[in-house]
Amino acid sequence: MALPPPHPLEESRPVAVGGPGPSLRDCDSQTVAAAREGDRSAVDDLSRAVWPQIRRIALAITGNPVLADDVAQDAMLRVLRALPRFDLSRPLGPWVRTIARNAARNARARTDHPAEPTTDVGTRPDLERAMDLDAAARSALTAFSGLTERQRELIELCDHQGLTPAEAAEELGIAGGTARATLHAARHALRVRLLADRPDLLDLLRDA
């Protein structure tokens, strides 16, 4: 079977997700097709590639590691269930992210979760242990969680997943100009927050 050409985005862009396991780029349509046919190994490969993507989007939407942890499990199940309906000619990444995005929003609606973000991972000690974050990483995550949902999504898509603002806009269903302006504001807000413990540097920025 001739495989469709890889989506340019997934072929050429680095995916800034570290850690073990295959990335979405490694999940070609052959793997997805095999998973749909019930090939256990392909299902495992697909699951390992999709899992980090789902978790990152869940965190970007919810801004809350504890809620995102539950959302990711829900979204993973949805991806596996929806796999037979996936169009093999389409790139996997946007499809997976859309499922994760919907799962996150549904979960938040169901639980009436407050809009205010939190990184209080200590409310679930096992999660805190699993993440094992040092103080600097924890502080950076707090800064990220302090952004609005749309800002977090655009930071995640553009600065971590490697999408252009235009591509992110298309995926989110917003205007390109809106995406660019929001991303601009998001980076500004994030960097000011990231430097909250460096008043000397913040002073430099205020001069700008």
Quick one: which of 4, 6, 30, 37 contacts other proteins (CB under 8 A)?
A: 37
How near is the Cβ of 57 to other proteins at its closest, in Å?
A: 9
How near is the Cβ of 101 to other proteins at its closest, in Å?
A: 15
How near is the Cβ of 140 to other proteins at its closest, in Å?
A: 4
Binding residues for other proteins restricted to 166-195, rule: CB under 8 A: 184, 187-188, 190-192, 194-195
Binding residues for other proteins restricted to 71-130, rule: CB under 8 A: 72-74, 76-77, 80-81, 84, 106, 109-112, 124, 126-127, 130
Q: From CA 101, how far away is CA 61, in angstroms rounded?
A: 7
- The secondary structure of 23-52 as a DSSP string is -GGG--HHHHHHHHTT-HHHHHHHHHHHHH
- Closest to other proteins by CB, 130 vs 175, is 130
Cα distance between the two ends of the chain: 57
Query: Binding string, 43-72, against other proteins, x = CB under 8 A?
Result: xx--xx-xxxx-xx--x-----x--xxx-x
Q: Is 3 in the site for other proteins (CB under 8 A)?
A: no
Q: Is 138 in the site for other proteins (CB under 8 A)?
A: yes
- Closest to other proteins by CB, 22 vs 170, is 22
- Closest to other proteins by CB, 2 vs 158, is 158
Tell me which amino acid residue 6 is: P
- Closest to other proteins by CB, 2 vs 129, is 129
- Closest to other proteins by CB, 17 vs 174, is 17
Q: From CA 202, how far away is CA 9, in angstroms rounded?
A: 35
**Could you tell me which of 147, 129, 133, 137 has the C-alpha nearest to residue 193?**
147
DSSP state of 123: G
How near is the Cβ of 196 to other proteins at its closest, in Å?
A: 10
Q: Is 153 in the site for other proteins (CB under 8 A)?
A: no
Q: Please check whether residue 166 is in contact with residue 17, taking contact to mean a CB–CB distance below 8 angstroms.
A: no
- Closest to other proteins by CB, 172 vs 186, is 186
Q: From CA 31, how far away is CA 28, in angstroms rounded?
A: 5
How near is the Cβ of 2 to other proteins at its closest, in Å?
A: 23
Q: From CA 27, how far away is CA 50, in angstroms rounded?
A: 9
The dihedral built from the CA positions of residue 64, 128, 73 and 162, taken in this order, carries a sign that is positive
Q: From CA 89, how far away is CA 83, in angstroms rounded?
A: 13
